[in-house]
Amino acid sequence: MKPIFITATNTDVGKTHTTLQLIEEFSKLGLKPVVYKPIETGVENTPNDAKELLKKAQSVNANLDSLTPYDITSYTFTLPASPYVAKGKKEIDISKLKSDFEKLSLLGDIVLIEGAGGLMVPVTKELKMIDLISLFDAHALLVTSSHLGSINDTLLSIEALQNRQLSFDWCVNVFRDIESFGSTTKPYYDEEFPSWWSVENGLSAFAKEYIKK
């Protein structure tokens, strides 16, 4: 099944939160999800995002029981910055990303790939996070924030995906500016994107539709 690349409009928007719920939704549909975090920065001892993702995936896919968080992330860096900056003098080998992804894909029915930061985060001199979507031949799920100003971020990210002619869906993670979201942001989405959905209310339907493709 075509992998899903979970990306966002920026850091701390809800990629891990969304991916954890996707693991559960796909498992309910009888699939064995696999998780992959190509690059994680801000790692002191253990890659926390990878650890959380793996623990959840192991609870529904026994094929992952022997893995550690470092088995589902190809590169970890201490500095909490973009991979390009956080790697310092080290190199990120794109062929290793592909190889690790292919190995993990053998352990289940669908691979959920969690990106780092937003779409235009630099990975190497040549590549940005958006380029990894094509690298893994994935369908993108864009998670956007609900805070004031997020309409701009959402539209820019949608335009970037469309310009690359990438297949994608998008949803809103409603957890910031919850009190004002209904008056400052939601009216625009309701008018311009009548079928928009939130992580809280739409992931189940998204997963059901996805496996029909």
Q: How many CB atoms within 10 Å of residue 78?
A: 12
Q: State the Cα–Cα distance between residues 134 and 105, nearest whole angstrom.
A: 16
- CB-CB contact of 140 with 5 (8 Å): yes
| Per-residue pLDDT reduced to its tens digit, 182-203 | 999 999 999 999 999 999 999 9
Task: Work out the pLDDT band at 120, boundaries 50, 70, 90.
Answer: very high
Whether the full predicted model's pTM is greater than 0.85, yes or no, is: yes
Q: Tell me which residue has tokens 């998670």.
A: 143
- CB-CB contact of 170 with 154 (8 Å): yes
Average pLDDT over residues 24-46: 97
Return the domain boundaries, the chain.
6-210
Question: Which strand (E) or helix (H) includes residue 207?
Answer: helix 199-210
Average pLDDT over residues 3-21: 97
Task: Work out the pLDDT band at 116, boundaries 50, 70, 90.
Answer: very high
- CB-CB contact of 37 with 53 (8 Å): yes
| 21 pLDDT higher than 90 | yes
| Per-residue pLDDT reduced to its tens digit, 50-75 | 999 999 999 999 999 999 999 999 99
Average pLDDT over residues 108-123: 97
| Per-residue pLDDT reduced to its tens digit, 124-183 | 999 999 999 999 999 999 999 999 999 999 999 999 999 999 999 999 999 989 999 999
What residues contact 81, with CB distance under 8 A and at least 6 apart? 41, 42
Residue 12, SS3?
A: coil
Catalytic residues, by residue number, are 37
CATH of 6-210, one of 3.90.1410.10, 3.40.50.300, 1.20.140.10, 1.10.12.10: 3.40.50.300
The pLDDT of residue 213: 82
